Amino acid sequence: MEPSETLNINSKIILNNNVEIPVLGLGTWQARGRSAKKAVRFALENGYRHIDTAYFYGNEREVGAAIQKSNIERENIYVTTKVWNDQQGYD
């Protein structure tokens, strides 16, 4: 994405591994239960392809269910997440 471009739902950025990812994404912080699922489904139905979540949010099940019900090919949806430092490492 060039600095002079207008940001929109289709704007993408190229990561260091040459993967393009949508710049805009739905944040799911504080979205719980049914409302989380509905928000993700609505976002996907309206063109979003980037969903941001985190282990701490506790809504992975709802986010996953909404993605599954969307019937959008999984390779066309980007899910970004975060983990706390104490959750990093090896098993």
Measure the CA–CA gap between 40 and 88, rounded to whole angstroms.
27
> What's the farthest any 2 CA atoms get from each other in the chain?
45
Region 47-76 average pLDDT: 95
Region 34-47 average pLDDT: 97
The residue written with tokens 């060039």 in the block is: 2
- For residue 18, give both structure tokens: 């040459």
Contact criterion met (CB below 8 Å) for 26 and 52: yes
State the catalytic residue, choosing from 55, 57, 78, 90. Answer: 57
- For residue 84, give both structure tokens: 């706390």
Model pTM score? 0.85
- The tens digit of pLDDT for each residue in 1-12 reads 666 678 999 999
- 90 is an active site residue: no
Could you say which DSSP state residue 5 is in? Answer: S
Q: Regarding predicted confidence, which is higher, 87 or 63? A: 63
- The tens digit of pLDDT for each residue in 21-36 reads 999 999 999 999 999 9
Q: In the prediction, which pLDDT does 77 show?
A: 98
